[in-house]
Structure 1
Amino acid sequence: MPTPPSAATRIDTVMAAIRARISSRACLPGSRLPSVRAQAQSMGVSVSTVVEAYDRLVADGSISARPGSGFYVAGPVAPLALAQLGPPRDRDVDPLWVSRQSLEADPDVLKPGCGWLPASWMYEAGMRKALRAAARADVATLADYATPLGHPALRQLLARRLAQQGIDVPASQVMLAESGTQAVDLICRFLLQPGDTVLVDDPCYFNFHALLKAHRVTAVGVPYTPTGPDLEAFAAALQAHSPRLYITNAGIHNPTGATLSPVTAHRLLKLADASDLVIVEDDIFADFEETAAPRLAAYDGLTRVIQIGSFSKTISASLRCGYIAARGDWIDSLADLKLATSFGGGRLAADVLYTALTDSGYRKHMESVRRRLAQARSTTLSRLEAIGITPWLVPQAGMFLWCALPDGNDAATLARACLADGVVLAPGNAFSLSLRAGGFLRFNAAQAGDPRVTEVLARAMQA
């Protein structure tokens, strides 16, 4: 017969529950806590246990007692704890857990679950050349703030690159950001209020989930198909939720590797035209494409679509520089917002990036990367299929493979087991708001070349 928890343990449990509600901002300063009797009933403990827990929380300053009125949350708003927001989830399928495991891993840990190329695949030669040029630059480049919109020559270059995708935009409607993530963050600050609804693909890039939590908005997932979002579900979500934003990938989709079809793109924009929806199109994987997929921004003319991107996946993740292309009036407001939150931005990073992009070696570098990725995808798929793991689709470009596990295998359980053997995986539910991807893993073909990846996976599945 199990031993009942001690009184001290029950008191600690009540205190931990109250602190969790405060740290997740479910209970804000000044808000009244449940009565002692109500709290005892909801947690299945005695009234005396709650009395003692509340008294201890009063003693450490977490709450305050008001005679004849009850107990109230004290102090300033608690620091935002993203892991505490939303329904409890297995930490192994939490997007922040996946990111931290990948970023903090020792050099000998294998990372087929991470979202970037190995350092040896990046544009090292071009970076070194650009850094040498930067070292000879005038003192203003090395020491001054950037202009509000950022490096003029780089913005001109980005405008020309966007034109190749059919997006006609002047450099005055392109603003540099510190990264693609900061670009999304600025757009959310600009367009969203707490409580708004945002549509995302299901599955989608998991950091979208974390970022939207930080903005205190409601994310709603729309199932993603091999040709784009499920349009029937998209229309239903527009009708049911009146969302303010839809955030998606342009070109190669993360995590599935799918590409948007022209028919889906046109129908999607027609649905958006009948609403107040703004679309954010993340084009970070543009240079991995063999053949360019449709861009919503091109069809829309940047009327309701905002395009963002960066070069952290192709040149250097250490060099933080992204961009936003949008309507002129929106860019003007976004520039003010960028000044308010990060001031002038990184002038040196933009200068180095411009030099690297305009060097003739970048085109050859990306041709080599695309060839290597094609071989890596083929090799990884063969190894995975040999142990019963099958692709949802076979992508034509990019690094990602969205794969189904054999029946009876749970991706989160495998991730925990493989982590103990030095392999970081990306379980499907980290990407899925509906949590219906528990039988999927996202593989990065460029990071899955070591045979130990499938060896460790095979042992974990057998166990």
Structure 2
Amino acid sequence: MGYGQQTQRVMQAVRSKVSSRALEPGEKLPSIRGFASLMNVSPSTVVEAYDRLAAEGIIFARKGSGFYVSPKTQPFSVSEIGPHLDREIDPFWVSRQSLDSGPDMLKPGCGWMPADWMPNASLRKAIRHLSKAEDQLLSDYASSRGASNLRRLQARQFATEGIEVNPNQILLTGSGTQSLDLICRFLLRPGDRVLVSDPCYFNFQAILKTHQVEIVSVPYTTTGVDLELFEKAIIEQKPRFYISNSTLHNPTGVNLSAQSAHKILTIAARHDLILVEDEVFAEFLPQPTPHLAALGGFDRVIRLGSFSKTLSASVRCGYIAAKPEWIEALVDLQVATNFGGPSPIATELIYTCLSDGSYRKHMEALRARLAKARRAVSANLAELGFQTWLMPEGGFYLWCLLPEGIDSAELARAALQQNMVLAPGDVFSPNQSMGRFMRFNVSQMGAPETYEILRGLMCDL
């Protein structure tokens, strides 16, 4: 057993004693030498274990006296983690269930790929490279816009998509979610209205709710937003901005056509509407598709995205691209709320990975792997009665119609009791009109028991 594992074993032994009340709050722990002998480890292992437990607040040290159980310790309980069966199915539902679930939970409804689908070898190489970085990068705050090397790299990537942008028009943020939060802080006041598609990414709704604005929705079709209802909603509701995905719309997988993109830009110009374009899935397409930013520039378009889906959700970093005066205002907001850009360690890791030739090969292989998975999962789901609404050209989502009489929320609740997280349609629907739909993540459906559980649940319902 390695040294790290020995330390963890000692820590767990102490936690168990505290949790079972074998050690009461305020009670002194065994001496370092005594506990080392009892656990058959070295005294230095117990020292490290005690120090880590003290950092967690479970125990505390008295100088010259030893270690004691913290008087306000809340013992760790396994029953406190895992699925929350009684939680209301709302825009936070899938996020909370997916983020808080353990490693054994099946996650066909979550929004990221399994760890073994990600470029971990490239990340490890970048981490080794980072160990040789200058002290300043490891210790200092980020600049207000974020790392210049990554912004320049991103500007070059935009150029390949037909988007001309100066690196100073790109603001790096802590995540794609933080990017949208900054935009909301900049553009919105309580009581404003924001236009979204129905269905739309559930976290759009969650963030907008925190800013106390009214959500106005327009139906989404296989070619994009319903343009007639889109303009009608703008005229009648006067929203502050419209937010959507131009590429691989979440959850439907629709790509905005050039014709629809031009019409959206024309309508927006006619009614002075700001367009927020979330392009987090853009790299999953083999060939770029029309972007609002590429066709209309940044006069009224704000583009945002992140690297979480293609590189790592653990190394968080997002971006915003917009016209210079808006970026300046957003920089001020980021300084006020985060005191600078994202972690220089995170941005250097991302820059190193993206600069590595292996990243391009990873994305090529990933697109092919996902294309195969989409076809296979769609066929497997069809055998259970799930109809794929539209076969996407890329990405890892399938938007599926359930058989008549099956409610996706009921199915999701039942699945949770079987250790499976699903994404029911109404979490994506501001109007709660998607009860017969479910979003599936094809990369998270490799386990055979996924289909066995679904088959059993469909029979029960």
Which residue identity does 1:435 align to in structure 2? Q
Which residue identity does 2:450 align to in structure 1? V
1:427 pairs with one of 424, 428, 444: 424
TM-score (norm 2): 0.80
Secondary structure of the corresponding residue to residue 256 of structure 1: coil
TM-score (norm 1): 0.80
Asked if the contact 1:244–1:276 (Cα under 8 Å) also holds between the matched residues in 2, the reply is no
1:196 pairs with one of 181, 186, 192: 192
Could you tell me how far apart the structure 2 residues matched to 1:216 and 1:139 are? 42
Asked if the contact 1:183–1:308 (Cα under 8 Å) also holds between the matched residues in 2, the reply is yes
1:299 pairs with one of 295, 299, 302: 295
Secondary structure of the corresponding residue to residue 402 of structure 1: strand
Within-5 A mapping of 1:358-377: 358-377=355-374
1:270 pairs with one of 266, 273, 276: 266
Following superposition, the deviation at residue 250 of structure 1 comes to 2.7
Percent identity among equivalent residues? 53
Matched, 1:312 2:308: yes
Matched, 1:452 2:452: no
Asked if the contact 1:92–1:412 (Cα under 8 Å) also holds between the matched residues in 2, the reply is no
Runs of 4+ in 1 over 6 A off after TM superposition: none
C-alpha deviations, 1:401-433, integer Å up to 9, x for none? 000000000000000111111111000000001
Asked if the contact 1:92–1:415 (Cα under 8 Å) also holds between the matched residues in 2, the reply is no
Secondary structure of the corresponding residue to residue 216 of structure 2: strand
Which residue identity does 2:378 align to in structure 1? L
Could you tell me how far apart the structure 2 residues matched to 1:267 and 1:250 are? 13
The aligned counterpart of 2:8 is none
Matched, 1:121 2:117: yes
C-alpha deviations, 1:103-127, integer Å up to 9, x for none? 1112111100001110111110111
Secondary structure of the corresponding residue to residue 398 of structure 1: coil
Within-5 A mapping of 1:129-140: 129-140=125-136
C-alpha deviations, 1:82-114, integer Å up to 9, x for none? xxxxxxxx9453121211111111211110000
Following superposition, the deviation at residue 344 of structure 1 comes to 1.7
The alignment's C-alpha RMSD in Å is 1.0
The aligned counterpart of 2:204 is 208
Following superposition, the deviation at residue 371 of structure 1 comes to 1.1
Could you tell me how far apart the structure 2 residues matched to 1:112 and 1:97 are? 14
* Residues 299-308 or 342-351, more deviating: 342-351
Could you tell me how far apart the structure 2 residues matched to 1:422 and 1:95 are? 20
The aligned counterpart of 1:386 is 383
Unaligned segments of structure 2, at least 5 residues: 1-85
Following superposition, the deviation at residue 451 of structure 1 comes to 2.2
Which residue identity does 2:374 align to in structure 1? R
Asked if the contact 1:403–1:440 (Cα under 8 Å) also holds between the matched residues in 2, the reply is yes
Matched, 1:416 2:413: yes
Matched, 1:228 2:224: yes
Could you tell me how far apart the structure 2 residues matched to 1:112 and 1:95 are? 17
Unaligned segments of structure 1, at least 5 residues: 1-89
Following superposition, the deviation at residue 254 of structure 1 comes to 0.5
2:347 pairs with one of 345, 350, 367: 350
Which residue identity does 2:439 align to in structure 1? R
Which residue identity does 2:175 align to in structure 1? S
Matched, 1:94 2:72: no
